[in-house]
Every structure is written in structure tokens, then in C-alpha cells.
């Protein structure tokens, strides 16, 4: 049993994710969905349960969190870790070993499980989760979805009573989300307590027993699963929640369909094969894109979406075929100067110490007038002297977009721009893309987000191996 008694918390030096006077009890075997807008404090709740707060993240804590009659802040983290296992959002940074077997065994090794028992448990885990084919692999050869499965397996192998999942679906494609759903169902069957902090909620229909809705750090509503999934669409949107139903991308034109835009400028792929080195990842890509298009690029984890985007913007050479811009073939260098990618982790492409400097950093002969105008257009003027790193995720994205406009790029690629975003933030990304399309850009957006596709995209490019 988990009990929160008048818990308040504020991180040191940050207003984000704080909590105010939380009171609730979670019974053994319950499945709880924590949801709410970005920054509402749902991740903070999971950190209070696994003991990362207060031991790892400093801040001001009052009130008490109890697990099975023990107060969390009084116990060392490794004691709590035996009871509550945590799976985090970013699959890249939760690995400690370079091979999958070692990773699954890692927690057991730390807790001193005897060797003979351990090997058996690793195999049992793989079998129960259906991931036998991932055993004996190098971590670096796995796709994001596979990594997430291994992270889950390594917690499962420790067999805790409580599972804490922090946005486990944010890097997963549809099939992987299906598997995640099955795994959570398996935990419920075993009588485990499961607590999931999520934006994407549709896949938890029929699994979540109760739903906690947080707003600005306060527990605003609790529903049973049945009540919650009956909430009207308008109310749901009003609360900033993502879709409760799984939308298929029906209604979107396939890439070979006609474009809605004017037929002036266009990009054409002719019998393109892409890949790394000699390894062909995808071949026979043949299509045209016109200004004003917003094209969703989808496909399974590991199908080659990032190879596709890197080839498109000139970071990779195609293995065969041509990419044409207004009927002339473009080499890598020319593509680089025509296109820009807004990366999934925007932090990698922000270099300067203020938004204003960012808009001219490293650019040959920067046009300051254009920079000022662009900042104005994207609503960044008031942040011009702020350090990009102090901005929110959505604002950082807009800074990156501003850079692309100042560099006069015509083709824009967004890589998973809405992963982990709430409804309103997703809408504003969609709005931004639509505005860019209206200015006559060609937009590609790599995404699994069906809601975003329905909101913004005009066509879809489904990549299949």
C-alpha cells in the first residue's frame, strides 16, 4: 500500500513540477494513471515513491510518503528499490551494461541474488515478456522500442511489488505500445501495483483502475477507469489531455496522392535507396512533394525514419537514385543548404547564450533585420535575452524553427516534435507547422502521434522495409 499524507514538494531552484498538499492511498494491486499537462508534477509523484526525492533530487519536502508501513524518506534508496521498480522515459540513458543479458540481471546482481537463480530468472523474464530474441544482443544494436523493453525487463526480473512507469510510451510505435499494454496487463494479473505517469492515455483503457488528474501540483480529480474514459471530448481537450481513443491515420492521403498545394516548387525522389555504408535500409522511394505539403513520415521503430530524414537533408548520401529540386538533382551540400531538421532533442542544436545570439550564431552574414522579424513572428521577442536552455521545450523548438527561417531553408523536417507533449502544446506545434506550410515551405514530420497527424498533416509517407 502506498500512502501520501499532506505531501508538498518544490525542486531546488525551479518552479516546474512542484506538488501541493497531496493526499491519497493506492491499494495493493491497483493500476493508477497519473496524468495532466506538462509540468503538472506527475513525474515528481513517481520520484517521491521510488525515493529519488529527497535522496537524489534536492528540494523542499513536507508531509510523508509511506510504502507498506515504512516511510520512504527514512529508508536508503536501495531498500525501496527492492519494493518499487522504476522504468524511465528516455531509453538511451537508463542502461548500465552494454549487453542485454547483463542489463536484465543488473538489478539482481546489485541485490546479491545467487548466480544459479539469476540465470534462470533472466530466461524466465525473457520468456514471460516474449523478448527471447533480444537476449545476447548489444544494447547499441537495439531500436528505441527494444531498449524500452529491456529496461522494463530489468525491473521485471527484480520482481518488485510496485512498478513505476514514467511516460513509458513516449518513444514507442504502435506495435511496441501494444506490447507495453500486454506487459502491464501481465503485471495486473500477478497482483502488482502499477503507477503510470503518462500523456498518451488511449492504451490504458481497460487497464487503469483509477485516474489521478494533476493540475499545477494539486490533485484536482480522481476517476475510476470507467468514468474517465467516458469523459466528453470537449472536456478532455479542456483539461489538456490527449486523445482517449486510438486514431488510425485514416483519411490522410498516401504520399502518391495529389497534393493540395500550388505546383510551383517541388521536391522529387526518384528511385531512391537509402542506408548506411553498404547496408540498404530502404529502397525504391519514389514520390513528389510540393510547397505547402505537411507530410507525416511514419513506420515501425527501426524501419529507417532517421536514415530517411538524414538523407533528405543532406547528412547522408543516398545509395542509389536522385533527389530533385525543381527538376535539378541536388547533391548533399545543396540539400544541406535547402533543408533543416528540428531534432527530437532540440538541445543539441542550440549553441548560443541568448535567443537573440542564437538567431545569428555561426551564420554567414546574418541578416539582423530578418532575425528580428522572425523572432517577432514566432513570439520569441520577449525572450530575446534569455538563455535558450531556460526556455520550455516548445519554445526551444520555436527557436530552432526561427534559425531555419533566418537561414532561408525551404524544406523542414521535424523529428518527433510532440513526444511527451500535452494537448495544448501539441496543438501549438501543429499550428506552427501549418503556418510554415502557408509560407511555402515543405514540411516533413517524423511521428507516431496520430492526433498530430489528424490535426496538421496533409499527406502521409508510410515507410516499410
Residue 384 Cβ vs other proteins, minimum distance, rounded to whole Å: 18
Closest-CA residue to 458 (of 232, 236, 258, 229): 258
Which helix (DSSP H) or strand (DSSP E) does residue 224 occupy? strand 218-224
Of the candidate residues 2, 350, 371, 461, the single one contacting other proteins (CB under 8 A): 350
Scan for cell 515478456, then name that residue: 129
Question: Using the rule CB under 8 A, is 109 a contact of other proteins?
Answer: yes
Question: Using the rule CB under 8 A, is 171 a contact of other proteins?
Answer: no
Question: Using the rule CB under 8 A, is 170 a contact of other proteins?
Answer: no
Scan for cell 492515455, then name that residue: 201
Q: What is the SS3 assignment for 288?
A: strand
- Residue closer to other proteins by CB (options 50, 171) is 50
Binding mask 392-431 for other proteins (x = CB under 8 A): -----------x---x------------------------
Report 215-234 residues binding other proteins (CB under 8 A): none
Of the candidate residues 45, 48, 65, 105, the single one contacting other proteins (CB under 8 A): 105
Contacts of 96 by beta carbon, 8 Å cutoff, 6+ apart: 103, 106
What sign does the dihedral 309-313-314-319 (CA atoms) show? positive
Scan for cell 493526499, then name that residue: 23
Report 18-77 residues binding other proteins (CB under 8 A): 50-52, 55-56, 76-77
Residue 335 Cβ vs other proteins, minimum distance, rounded to whole Å: 10
Residue 97 Cβ vs other proteins, minimum distance, rounded to whole Å: 5
- Is residue 143 within 8 A of residue 91, CB to CB? The reply is no
Question: Using the rule CB under 8 A, is 189 a contact of other proteins?
Answer: no
Report 290-349 residues binding other proteins (CB under 8 A): 310, 313-315, 336-337, 339-341, 343, 345, 347-349
429 vs 422: CA distance, rounded Å:
11
Of the candidate residues 8, 73, 97, 143, the single one contacting other proteins (CB under 8 A): 97
Q: What share of the chain is helix, strand, coil (3-state, %, to 5)?
A: 40, 25, 35
336 vs 364: CA distance, rounded Å:
14
313 vs 267: CA distance, rounded Å:
12
Of the candidate residues 12, 140, 235, 251, the single one contacting other proteins (CB under 8 A): 140
Question: Using the rule CB under 8 A, is 136 a contact of other proteins?
Answer: yes
Of the candidate residues 110, 222, 326, 376, the single one contacting other proteins (CB under 8 A): 110
Where does this chain touch other proteins (CB under 8 A) — which range of 86-94, 224-232, 248-256, 457-465? 86-94
- N-term to C-term CA, the chain: 46
The C-alpha cell at 25 is: 492511498
Contacts with other proteins: how many residues (CB under 8 A)?
A: 70
Report 353-372 residues binding other proteins (CB under 8 A): 361-364
Question: Using the rule CB under 8 A, is 81 a contact of other proteins?
Answer: yes
- Residue closer to other proteins by CB (options 164, 241) is 164
168 vs 149: CA distance, rounded Å:
10
Of the candidate residues 17, 36, 41, 85, the single one contacting other proteins (CB under 8 A): 85
Cβ atoms < 10 Å from Cβ of 149: 25
Where does this chain touch other proteins (CB under 8 A) — which range of 118-126, 182-190, 373-381, 448-456? 118-126
- Residue closer to other proteins by CB (options 336, 372) is 336
Cβ atoms < 10 Å from Cβ of 275: 18
Of the candidate residues 29, 54, 63, 102, the single one contacting other proteins (CB under 8 A): 102
Can the peptide bond before residue 54 be classed as cis, meaning omega within 30 degrees of 0? yes
Question: Using the rule CB under 8 A, is 119 a contact of other proteins?
Answer: yes
DSSP string over 332-401: HHHHHHHEEEE-SSGGGG--SSSHHHHTTTT-SS--HHHHHHHHHHTT-GGGTTS-GGGS-HHHHHHHHH
Scan for cell 525522389, then name that residue: 269
Residue 50 Cβ vs other proteins, minimum distance, rounded to whole Å: 5
Give the residues lining the site for other proteins (CB under 8 A).
Answer: 50-52, 55-56, 76-78, 81-82, 85-86, 88, 90, 92-99, 101-102, 105-115, 118-119, 122, 136, 138, 140-141, 151, 154-155, 158, 310, 313-315, 336-337, 339-341, 343, 345, 347-352, 361-364, 389, 403, 407
Amino acid at each position: 500500500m502506498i500512502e501520501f499524507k499532506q505531501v508538498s514538494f518544490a525542486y531546488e531552484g525551479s518552479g516546474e513540477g512542484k506538488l501541493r498538499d497531496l493526499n491519497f492511498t493506492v491499494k495493493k494491486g491497483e493500476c493508477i494513471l497519473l496524468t495532466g499537462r506538462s509540468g503538472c508534477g506527475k513525474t515528481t509523484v513517481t520520484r517521491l515513491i521510488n525515493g529519488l526525492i529527497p535522496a537524489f533530487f534536492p528540494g523542499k519536502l513536507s508531509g510523508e510518503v509511506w510504502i507498506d508501513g515504512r516511510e520512504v524518506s527514512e529508508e536508503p534508496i536501495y531498500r525501496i528499490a527492492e519494493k518499487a521498480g522504476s522504468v524511465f522515459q528516455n531509453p538511451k540513458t537508463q542502461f548500465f551494461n552494454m549487453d542485454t543479458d547483463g542489463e536484465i540481471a543488473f538489478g539482481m546482481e546489485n541485490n546479491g541474488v545467487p548466480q544459479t537463480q539469476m540465470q534462470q530468472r533472466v530466461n524466465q523474464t525473457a520468456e514471460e515478456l516474449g523478448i527471447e530474441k533480444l537476449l545476447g544482443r548489444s544494447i547499441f544494436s537495439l531500436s528505441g522500442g527494444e531498449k524500452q523493453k529491456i529496461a522494463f525487463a530489468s525491473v521485471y526480473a527484480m520482481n518488485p511489488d510496485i512498478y513505476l512507469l514514467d511516460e513509458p510510451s513516449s518513444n514507442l510505435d504502435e506495435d511496441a505500445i501494444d506490447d507495453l499494454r500486454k506487459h502491464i496487463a501481465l503485471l495486473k494479473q500477478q497482483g502488482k501495483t502499477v503507477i503510470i505517469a503518462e500523456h498518451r492515455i488511449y492504451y490504458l483503457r481497460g487497464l487503469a483502475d483509477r485516474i489521478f488528474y494533476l493540475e499545477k501540483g494539486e490533485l484536482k480529480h480522481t476517476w475510476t477507469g470507467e468514468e474517465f474514459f467516458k469523459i466528453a471530448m470537449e472536456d478532455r481537450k479542456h483539461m489538456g489531455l490527449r486523445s482517449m481513443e486510438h486514431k488510425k491515420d485514416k483519411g490522410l492521403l498516401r504520399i502518391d496522392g495529389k497534393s493540395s498545394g500550388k505546383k510551383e516548387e517541388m521536391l522529387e525522389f526518384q528511385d531512391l535507396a537509402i542506408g548506411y555504408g553498404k547496408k540498404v535500409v530502404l529502397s525504391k522511394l519514389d514520390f513528389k512533394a510540393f510547397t505547402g505539403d505537411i507530410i507525416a513520415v511514419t513506420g515501425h521503430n527501426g524501419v529507417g525514419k532517421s536514415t530517411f530524414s538524414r538523407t533528405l537533408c543532406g547528412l547522408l548520401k543516398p545509395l542509389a537514385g536522385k533527389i530533385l529540386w525543381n527538376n535539378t538533382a541536388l547533391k548533399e551540400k545543396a540539400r544541406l543548404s535547402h533543408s533543416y531538421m528540428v531534432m527530437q532533442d532540440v538541445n543539441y542544436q542550440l549553441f548560443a547564450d541568448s535567443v537573440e545570439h542564437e538567431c545569428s550564431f555561426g551564420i554567414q552574414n546574418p541578416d539582423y533585420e530578418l532575425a528580428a522579424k522572425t523572432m517577432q513572428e514566432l513570439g520569441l521577442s520577449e525572450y530575446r535575452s534569455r538563455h535558450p536552455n531556460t526556455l520550455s521545450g516548445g519554445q526551444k523548438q520555436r527557436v530552432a524553427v526561427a534559425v531555419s527561417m533566418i537561414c532561408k531553408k525551404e524544406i523542414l523536417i521535424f523529428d518527433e516534435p510532440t513526444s511527451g507533449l500535452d494537448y495544448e502544446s501539441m496543438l501549438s506545434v501543429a499550428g506552427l507547422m501549418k503556418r510554415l506550410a502557408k509560407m511555402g515551405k515543405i514540411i516533413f514530420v517524423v511521428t507516431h502521434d496520430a492526433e498530430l497527424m489528424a490535426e496538421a498533416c496533409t499527406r502521409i509517407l508510410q515507410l516499410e522495409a
